[in-house]
Chain A
Amino acid sequence: MKTPPASGPRQADGRTGQRSLLVKILARPEVGVFLGAVAVYVFFLIAAPPVRDGSSMANILYQSSTLGIVTIPVALLMIGGEFDLSAGVGVITSALTASMLAYQLTLNVWVGVIAALVVSLAIGFFNGWMVVKTGLPSFLVTLGTFLILQGVNLAVTKLVTGNVATDDISDMDGFDQARKVFASSFDIGGVQVKITVFWWLLFAIIATWVLMRTKYGNWTFAVGGNQDSARAVGVPVAFTKISLFMLVGFGAWFVGMHQLFSFNTVQSGEGVGQELIYISGAVIGGCLLTGGFGTAIGPVFGAFMFGMVQQGIVYAGWNPDWFKAFLGVMLLGAVLINLWVQRTMTRR
């Protein structure tokens, strides 16, 4: 063992050139989206003067955070090689569960909150379990869950309340406390900032740490990059994938609770279409749709771009209908950048 094998080059033999620093930096998944976010920000600073105001910025960040809190776990799931179409309606399912359970049984709202968490995690578990056990594409499995939840949301709400919305729970036990956690505001330099912004950034930091610095993060990249190889070297593929789906459930629960405690009622038909915004946010944030590559911080910028555009259009006084068109352009741009990155990374 001590004698070096004869033919192995002891020195780099000059055939493996260093990749240039510029390529290395640009190959970072979050760099593209960071530049994009800066560009969009500057654009609206010029086009929409009200954006320069601090409270407008707080509003933009708030908008971004409600998208971003779900976009982060959706991005982790995408790095793990799967995606979840049921996240958007899952948010509403969670809010409905908490609201109706607490109201109908006249319980402390925290009971509803915990029950909603259990339901959201169970939906995630079901998605993950189906994908892992059947080997079906997650697109199909979660499309099924998406349709099921969409129907259940409407039907059950009508059955229980006789209405498409839930009853106002603002006078119930524990409401004020729960509102503090999920939907309060802070005063920072005279600007009211919603608590979801802090949660969003906190989750992003935790997700980044987990992804880059823990075993679980390593496994996430591995199951997305090459599932068979990961299994062969002993990575618990089923556990990793199922838990990633459950993390999306957690994100959906959190935003669901935020909606419930800021608006007191829930519209059962909402949430449809949001799942695509989350997925777009993750892709714009530099995650490969095919898995195995991405960051947790990129989707933060991705969500910020969305929030910026959504509010920026309003502040600029344009027709808000343009939002989706902007979104589409950003998505295509991001996909092209990703494609280029993937080719650069694997080129020898």
Chain B
Amino acid sequence: MKEKNPETHGEIIPDSGPQGEDGVLVELRNAGKSYGNIRALHGVDLQVRPSQVTCVLGDNGAGKSTLIKIISGLHQHTEGEFLVDGAPVRFSSPRDALDKGIATVYQDLATVPLMPVWRNFFLGSEMTKGPWPVRRLDIERMKRTADHELREMGIVLNDLEQPIGTLSGGQRQCVAIARAVYFGARVLILDEPTAALGVKQSGVVLKYIAAARDRGLGVIFITHNPHHAYMVGDHFSVLRLGTMELSASRAQVSLEELTNHMAGGAELAALKHELSQVSGVDVKGLPEREDLTAPLAAGGPEGKA
């Protein structure tokens, strides 16, 4: 992963990610995914360590969703390596990922709207009691646990029997995150958890991310909001057109740079020059190419220029 990489037309800088004491939980090495002849993702390196938040940023279509689908077991990578605890893996279903302690909170929250809140909370991992063939759901315990966990999140519901489809987007988000954390995930993948939320509820979610990190979880936080990312992130990876444009630790990158990269980075600087030709457009505040000092992965658009 540190050598010259033909797939990305250039050199990948050494991964200077946070070097923790603990081993790497999840690692992608030069991984990629093609759908037929469409390359959604290629040459991606990513490391997730305990007690750290790895932020994956990128614009729409940058490959963020593909990346988490590989890690969460919905899709399989077609190039490179995917390691969990140092051993190569290939998940055939999300169940495999869950069994390895990798839990995902999806953008669409993976809830079933017509089912009650508590059934959604425990869906796929139901508590049961009694011997087979009369093994049955332990409804009391599930309701009590769901209620307790949701209160921890600051969500108090009148009625856990109400269909989850009747909750607000923020409430559903919290149910989904509380669910993932409760089920003892070692690695928590959050797919744009703050995208649909208001300012206050985003704050709640960010606190929960920090709390999960403090518990020793490795968190992969997918977002397109650099402000949210910078608040909790330890390591930042910016995806662009299916490949890594930036991979830097918190010490190596400032919020401003991160924002610039997210906004289009070097491309934006070029756009500035074009805009300066158009009268009436003020370009003074826009970044120059030289402002971008953080280590670049050379696979981005400027590599091809």
Contact partners of A229 in chain B: CB under 8 A? 106, 108-112, 123
Residues of B in contact with A, size category? 35 or more
Report A-chain residues with C-beta under 8 Å of the C-beta of B106: 229, 232
Residues 53-71 (chain A) with a chain B CB within 8 angstroms: none
B98 to chain A, nearest CB (A): 5
> A347–B124 contact, CB under 8 A?
no
* Secondary structure class of chain A's binding surface, majority of residues: loop
CB contact list, A312-348 vs B, under 8 A: 345-348
One of B124, B158, B207, B215 near A18 (C-beta < 8 A)? B158
The residue on A at minimum CB distance from B199 is A7
Determine if A49 is an interface residue (Cβ-Cβ < 8 Å). no
Q: Mark A191-235, 1 if CB is under 8 A from B, else 0.
A: 000000000000000000100011101110110011011111111
CB atoms of A5 and B208 under 8 A apart = yes
Whether the Cβ atoms of A218 and B126 lie closer than 8 Å is yes
Chain A, 1-20, CB within 8 A of any chain B CB: 1, 4-12, 16, 18-19
Report B150-165 residues with CB < 8 Å from chain A CB.
151-159, 162-163, 165
Contact A215 B128, CB 8 Å, known A5-B154, A232-B106, A233-B123: yes
Which of B134-142, B223-231, B257-265 lines the interface with chain A? B134-142
Contact (Cβ within 8 A) B152 A214:
no
Q: Kindly state whether residue B200 has any CB partner on chain A within 8 Å.
A: yes
Q: At the interface, yes or no: B286 with Cβ under 8 Å from chain A?
A: no
A347: B residues at CB distance < 8 A: 166
Of B154, B162, B165, B203, which is within 8 A of A10 by CB?
A: B154
Q: Known contacts A221-B114, A347-B166: does B104 contact A5 (CB below 8 Å)?
A: no
Kindly identify which residue among A19, A209, A232, A345 contacts B74, using a CB–CB cutoff of 8 Å: A232
Chain A residue contacts of B155, Cβ below 8 A: 8-9
Between A and B, how many residue pairs show CB distances below 8 Å? 130
Which residues of the other chain, B, contact A4 by a CB distance below 8 angstroms? Answer: 151-152, 154
Interface status of A293 (Cβ within 8 A of chain B) = yes
Which residues on B sit within 8 Å (CB–CB) of A231? 74, 93-94
The smallest C-beta distance from A232 to any residue of chain B, in angstroms, reads 4
Residues of A within 8 A of B165 (CB): 345-346
Q: Tell whether, in the assembled complex, residue A292 and residue B110 are in contact, meaning their CB atoms are under 8 Å apart.
A: no
Contact of A292 among B94, B112, B154, B211 (CB under 8 A): B112
CB pair A215–B126 under 8 Å, yes or no, is yes
Does residue B115 face the partner (Cβ distance < 8 Å to A)? yes
How far is the CB of B146 from the nearest CB of chain A, in Å?
A: 13
Cβ of B305 to closest chain A Cβ, rounded Å: 39
What 1/0 mask marks residues of chain A from 225 to 257 whose CB sits below 8 Å from any chain B CB?
Answer: 110111111111000000000000000000000
Of the listed residues B104, B113, B201, the one surrounded by the most CB atoms of chain A closer than 10 A to its CB is: B113
> Which of A10, A214, A233 is within 8 Å of B135, CB to CB?
A214
Taken together as a complex, chains A and B put the C-alpha atoms of A178 and B66 apart, in Å, by 57
How far, in angstroms, from A75 to B110 measured CA to CA in the complex? Answer: 24
In angstroms, Cα B108 to Cα A6, docked, is 25
Chain A contacts with B in 271-299, Cβ cutoff 8 A: 292-293
Q: Which residues of A contact B207 (CB under 8 A)?
A: 5-6
Q: Does B204 contact A (CB under 8 A)?
A: yes
A2 and chain B: residue at smallest CB distance: B152
Point out the residues of chain B lying under 8 angstroms from A1, CB to CB: 152, 211, 215
Closest chain B residue, CB of each to CB of A7 = B200
B94 touches A221 (CB 8 A): no
Closest chain A residue to B204 by CB distance? Answer: A5
Which of A7, A8, A293 has most chain B Cβ within 10 Å? A8
Tell me the bound Cα distance from A251 to B225 in angstroms: 54
- Cβ of A234: which chain B residues have Cβ within 8 Å of it? 93-95, 98, 124-125
Expressed in whole angstroms, the minimum distance between the Cβ of A293 and any Cβ of chain B is 5
Q: List 23 A-B contacts (CB under 8 A).
A: A4-B152, A5-B154, A5-B207, A6-B203, A6-B204, A8-B204, A209-B136, A213-B136, A213-B139, A214-B128, A214-B135, A214-B136, A218-B123, A218-B137, A221-B115, A222-B115, A222-B124, A229-B111, A231-B94, A233-B94, A233-B110, A234-B93, A234-B124
Interface residues of B (CB under 8 A from A): 72, 74, 93-95, 98, 104, 106, 108-115, 119, 122-126, 128, 135-137, 139, 151-159, 162-163, 165-166, 168, 174, 200-201, 203-204, 207-208, 211, 215
